Amino acid sequence: MQIASVGTAFPPHRYTQTHIAETLVARWGDKLPEPRLLTRLHANCGVDTRYFVLPIERYPELHGFKQTNDEWITAAVELGQTAVERALTPLGLTPADISAIFFASVTGIASPTIDARLINKMPFPTHVKRTPIFGLGCVAGAAGIARASDYLAGHPAEIVLLLSVELCSLTWQDDDQSVANLISCGLFGDGCAAVILAGEEAVLPSPPTRAPAILATRSTFYRHTEHVMGWDIRDTGFRIVLSPDVPRVVLENLRGDVDSFLAEQNLTLADIKSWIFHSGGPKVLEATEKALDLPPEALALSWKSLREVGNLSAASVLCVLEDTLKNHPGEPGSYSILAAMGPAFCLELVLLQW
């Protein structure tokens, strides 16, 4: 099976990190005991610009979870349709060619889910199989690829879609001036990514010039780490849980898990020619580089994505994947690792060969 294409979509409102910080300082006013702390935290997030689903001046008008979630549903459908079309078109495919949809998000809730709403707008088959995924957070992009590949192992003639829409700006909490929320408001952005995966026997009308095959995947759960990352769900919506322990968990676990995963495939770190990592933030990327003894340029695309769009939760690693496919594909026969970590705390690894 192979990853055939990726399409991305972003909202129309793009702001510099400086402008966002200045706006929040003015918006929260007396709620901030030390406004310079917010400015400093935002400056250290490794982010230059981010996209927001609404004009930045409109966010104070949102009150309560229903209003923000309604905005999430409307925008998720619109962005999702655009990303899906951008992923399908280069392959000569239409929605009618898709046999299964995996949908991942952690920034809003809908029932019927966003994938169901897209089926009513786009000509997907009546019998398309749907797997909505909620709660995996940042790891869901990599986990979605892994679960889609599990499906294709049993349906090798089919073509499947993974769609992730993350509108993190709609989770901001006006009554929370904790360091975790200040960092969250400086790190996360809005965006969407769609991935087309094809089984070994699937026929693509316009196959890609170079597409990586999925050789193996591994999921790893770190017990009793639920305090590290996630949501505290309240009447006002999603309140961030973000512990400074995240880099420590990476440093203590990542190398051993990657080594053992590769050993099962008779490979070592030296065999991996490129790394497609979730853009979790500067401390997470630095911990990843240190844990794996990577050279400075190894995670260049992850750092670039972080600078240009911020952390997009589940969609981030898929944006890095798009950049890799379009601009930095591997040499024939070479290996890559696609990976992300997220709430639980947990790790998802995907071994690719070009």
Closest CA to 295 of 268, 266, 269, 324: 269
Q: What sign does the dihedral 183-253-317-287 (CA atoms) show?
A: positive
Q: If you compute the radius of gyration of the chain from its CA atoms, what whole number of angstroms results?
A: 19
**Contacts for 310 with CB less than 8 Å, ≥ 6 apart:** 45, 47, 49, 50, 168, 187, 188, 189, 279
Would you say 298 and 275 are in contact if contact means Cβ atoms under 8 Å apart?
Answer: yes
Helices within 205-273 (DSSP H only) = 246-264
**C-beta neighbour count of 57 within 10 angstroms:** 10
Would you say 322 and 6 are in contact if contact means Cβ atoms under 8 Å apart?
Answer: yes
The residue from 138, 185, 319, 346 that is catalytic is 138
Known catalytic membership, residue 138: yes
Give the containing element (helix H, strand E) for 16.
strand 13-16
By annotation, the residues acting in catalysis are 138
